[in-house]
Amino acid sequence: MTIFATYSIKGGVGKTSTAVNLAYLAAKNNFNTLVWDLDPQGASSYSFRVKPKVKGGSKELIAGDRELDGLIKATDFENLDLLPADFSFRNLDLVLDSRKKPTQRLKKLLSPLTKEYDYIFLDCPPNISLLSEAIFEASDILLSPIIPTTLSLRTLEQLKKYIKDNKLKHLQLLPFFSMADKRKKMHRDIIESLSEQHPDLLQSIIPYASDIERMGWERMPLAGYTNKSRSTEAYQALWKEISAIL
């Protein structure tokens, strides 16, 4: 069992698209897979056409008054389940802060599910907070999409420093380029120089593509409405590369 978090300090970089599409591919390969939508915006819940509502909200969830098991919804896809978001998740930081050992809470909540699922994807909200710390404790792998812009180097370095300073040795950071537009010289230049400076960046690159952008409209993973394209191939290559590392 492996727990992935699609995580970045930055917003709008492709975290949700990554969680939804990679979870779809894992499930299609017959692995029992769960996506936990931890973002109050509920984007991955929306993509799977599941209502973003959790009985009892963040308080009862974090207090452990509700078993996660009872909150899980099936999706339209075999082997693929979803734990939906709830608008109260905007207060997850505060709710966590009121508990003992807040950074251990998610790990503890997830532990009964580790027997049921081969892969769990945590779709994270953008920021670095107490919730992120709890996510880092619970996860094995941080999948971090990087848009090739000048700020992205700084973001990646901040994240690496954070992991090092906090001695999160169990956590493997797998950064990869997202929304890369090879027609733009700046994107090509940044991809080249960042790849040299950070050889741990994955080789697979998710292109900027209108069929991926349409996911929010179609409300399903890319492969649900596109047969074969550069984008479906890019996600397949990314999943293959990640699977080989596990």
Among 40, 56, 57, 126, which residue sits at the site for ligand ATP (rule: CB under 6 A)?
Answer: 126
Beta bridge partner(s), residue 205: 177
Residues near 88 by beta carbon (within 8 Å), at least 6 away in sequence? 40, 54, 57, 58, 59
Q: Quick one: which of 208, 223, 232, 238 contacts ligand ATP (CB under 6 A)? A: 208
Q: Of 36, 66, 69, which is closest to residue 50 (Cα–Cα)?
A: 36
For residue 56, which phi and psi values (nearest 5 degrees)? 85, -10
Q: Find the binder of ligand ATP among 156, 209, 222, 223 (CB under 6 A).
A: 209
Find the shortest distance in angstroms from Cβ 123 to Mg ion.
Answer: 6
Measured CA angle at 230 (ends 228, 235), to 5 deg: 85
Does 216 sit near ligand ATP (CB under 6 A)? Answer: yes
Residue nearest to Mg ion (CB): 16
- Interface of this chain with ligand ATP, residues 132 to 161, rule: CB under 6 A: none
Of 5 and 109, nearer to ligand ATP (C-beta) is 5
Q: Are 122 and 3 in contact (CB under 8 A)?
A: yes
Site mask, ligand ATP, residues 22-41, x = CB under 6 A? -----------------x-x
Please report whether residue 121 would count as binding ligand ATP according to CB under 6 A: no
Q: How far is CA 224 from the centre of its chain?
A: 19
Cα–Cα distance between 36 and 15 in angstroms, integer? Answer: 13
Q: How many residues does the chain have?
A: 246
Cβ of residue 112: shortest distance to ligand ATP, in angstroms?
Answer: 27
Interface stretch with Mg ion, choices 7-15, 60-68, 179-187, 204-212 (CB under 5 A): 7-15
Residue of 161, 100, 110 lying closest to 135 (CA atoms): 110
Residues 118 to 157 in contact with Mg ion, rule: CB under 5 A: none
If phi over 0 gives left and psi between -120 and 50 gives alpha, with beta otherwise, what is residue 30? left
- Which of 1/135 has CB closer to Mg ion? 135
Residue 102 or 145 with smaller CB distance to ligand ATP: 145
Q: Which residues bind ligand ATP (CB under 6 A)?
A: 11-17, 39, 41, 43, 126, 178-179, 206, 208-209, 212-213, 215-216
Q: Which residues bind Mg ion (CB under 5 A)?
A: 15-16, 43
